[in-house]
Structure 1
Amino acid sequence: MSEPVVRLRALRSVTLRSTSCADAGEFYREVWGLRQVEQDTGAVWLRGTSSEHHVLQLQQAERNALGKVAFAVATPREIDEAASRLVAQGIPLVTEPGKLDQVGGGYGLRFADPEGRLIELSADVFAVTPDDPDGHPAVPRKLAHVVLNTADIDAACEFYTRVLGMRISDWSEHQMAFLRCNADHHVIAFNQAPFASVNHVAYEMASIDHFMRGIGRLRHNGITPLWGPGRHGPGSNTFGYFADPAGLVCEYTSEVEQVVEDAWLCRVWRRTPELSDLWGTAGPPSKDVRTHMAGVPDPGYTAWWRG
């Protein structure tokens, strides 16, 4: 078995193509709690309280879709080495390694996974001065994880473990797989579905108190959860799911389980209401939340990418 092309350090950011970029940007800025760092025609970049330049980019589009998922790599040299290894494995580069001409800068490359999702590896991205991540405001600290619907969960897991060196932390029967690249229980999860699409994007709150106060702020703005609050079995993280103005699902979460690498044993969880919500406060996901999480078929980056 070939070695992974790179060592991923963390999940950096996600780009979402949105049918309501302006309204969604206002929602994430004014209600969700992210801070805007840049804006352009049909695009907006938003950050959490950490030093990461941005955790979310929104792009105006004709249909909701994944724009890209960006992972942090330690050095530009590792980016160059990853490029050589990707090509050696027959995986074509969408963007050759070099300085990234984008908001936040950095040095990186891009390639696509088997279902056409654009993956970016980057180093030396601009940092911003951290806000007080453990302070009083109930706002997101960082991007916690991205859940993606896939038409072939085994193929998706094989690619992300073999090529990117991710590890499978747990399974929810053979329906969901939770993958990590650091101590967080998962930064990517795959959900078996009829087609590839965005399931949801989760943002980590500093504590369970921040988590609950964030949900309270949304309720104050007349926005109630699609599902939650509750606590999942896999990952042991709290959850509260909402829909943004484009219908894409966003999640507040906290207390994500931390993996001790040499001691962790991958488990298979049964898909029961008691294990999807250990608190028993949220109940099973409704038809409405399932519909939102199913999304719309995503044809991949080749449908819109212009370089």
Structure 2
Amino acid sequence: MSQPIAHIRTLRSVELRVPTVGDSTDFYENVWGLQVVERDTGAAWLRGTGQQHHVLQLSDAERNGLGRIAFAVATPREVDEAARRLEQRGMPVVAGPGPLDQVGGGYGLRFVDPEGRLIELSADTLAVTERRADDTAPVGVTHVVLNTVDIDAAVAFYTDVLGMRVSDWSEHQMAFLRCNSDHHSIAFNQAQWTSVNHVAYQMPTVDHFMRGIGRLRHHGITPLWGPGRHGPGDNTFSYFADPAGLVCEYTSGIAQVDEDAWLCRVWRRVPELSDTWGTAGPPSKDVRTHMAGIPDPGPLADGRQAADADSFAAPAPEPAR
């Protein structure tokens, strides 16, 4: 097996493409508990209570889709090294390495995974002072679940190229991958087409988790599924639909992996393990429909974002950092 292209530290942010930027921004700010840090025509950037400049970007599009998944690496040198290793593997870099001319700044590169998802690796992005959490505000994005047409190929790519580790399987239907001590930052779900299944936001405690659900109920919004607690990952869950119909999750208490002691497990797909509390019941057809989404060939497939390289402020320097 080849050496991974980089040592990923954490999931930094997610970009979602939606036809409802205004309504979705209002939802994530006024109902979900994030805070807008910048708006532009057809786009908005929102932060949680943590130090990431933003954890969610909403961009205008004709239909729902994943714009970008951004991972943090430690230094610009690691970005340059990732570019060299991608070149060695014959994998094209869409943009960079170089300074990111985007909200939040930083130094990074972007490339595309086998199913057309745009992946960003970045360092030296702007950090912000942690804002005081209220009882319902998420810290940030903690994991993304992606629908895939070939779960084995997806797992192979993210472990071999990005160096992630498989924490657990849910039979041969879902795979949970980690990049740090959190049980998973990415999970893959075997499906009929490629799409976003859901984006999960970390709540500091179970109390924050429950108060967040209460806040949504106050706004007349009830969970699609939850509250409950999953077997794989041991995290709480409560799933909702945003104005675009994309699924967002409040979660807390995810299992922490000891690399020297953890044994990957294959979980049975039975109701008592999908929800160990027994409070949520099995997911309904409506939940599954929302999580299936619509086929998403990726942001570069139709050429609308082929100018993504323009997100870099300068031509890529020689990788001698």
The bucket for the TM-score relative to the shorter chain is over 0.9
Q: How many residues align?
A: 305
CA offset digits 1:158-196 (Å, max 9, x no partner) = 000000000000000000000000000000000000110
Residue type of the alignment partner of 1:190: F
Residue type of the alignment partner of 1:142: G
Residue 136 of structure 1, CA deviation = 4.1
In the aligned structure 2, how far is the partner of 1:144 from the partner of 1:277?
19
Matched, 1:127 2:116: no
User: Which residue in 1 is equivalent to 2:241?
Assistant: 243
Matched, 1:153 2:163: no
In the aligned structure 1, how far is the partner of 2:17 from the partner of 2:114?
19
User: Which residue in 1 is equivalent to 2:64?
Assistant: 64
Give the TM-score normalised by structure 2: 0.94
Give 1:264's match in structure 2, choosing from 257, 262, 265: 262
Identical aligned residues as a percent: 72
In the aligned structure 1, how far is the partner of 2:79 from the partner of 2:134?
37
Partners of 2:65 and 2:299 within 8 A in 1: no
In the aligned structure 2, how far is the partner of 1:128 from the partner of 1:200?
26
Residue 68 of structure 1, CA deviation = 0.4
In the aligned structure 2, how far is the partner of 1:290 from the partner of 1:224?
16
Residue 131 of structure 1, CA deviation = 1.2
Question: Secondary structure in 1 aligned to 2:144?
Answer: strand
Residue 137 of structure 1, CA deviation = 2.5
Structure 2 gaps of 5+ residues are 309-321
Structure 1 gaps of 5+ residues are none
CA offset digits 1:135-154 (Å, max 9, x no partner) = 54311012110000000000
Question: Secondary structure in 2 aligned to 1:301?
Answer: coil
In the aligned structure 2, how far is the partner of 1:87 from the partner of 1:222?
51
User: Which residue in 1 is equivalent to 2:82?
Assistant: 82
In the aligned structure 2, how far is the partner of 1:43 from the partner of 1:186?
28
Q: Which runs of 4+ in 1 moved over 3 A?
A: none
Give the TM-score normalised by structure 1: 0.98
User: Which residue in 1 is equivalent to 2:106?
Assistant: 106
User: Which residue in 2 is equivalent to 1:55?
Assistant: 55
In the aligned structure 1, how far is the partner of 2:271 from the partner of 2:5?
38
Matched, 1:289 2:287: yes
User: Which residue in 2 is equivalent to 1:279?
Assistant: 277
Residue 96 of structure 1, CA deviation = 1.7
Question: Secondary structure in 1 aligned to 2:272?
Answer: helix
Residue 300 of structure 1, CA deviation = 1.1
User: Which residue in 2 is equivalent to 1:4?
Assistant: 4
Residue type of the alignment partner of 1:278: T
In the aligned structure 2, how far is the partner of 1:143 from the partner of 1:201?
7
User: Which residue in 2 is equivalent to 1:220?
Assistant: 218
Partners of 2:66 and 2:117 within 8 A in 1: yes
Query: What CA RMSD, in Å, does the superposition of the two structures yield over aligned residues?
Result: 0.7
Matched, 1:185 2:186: no
Residue 301 of structure 1, CA deviation = 2.3
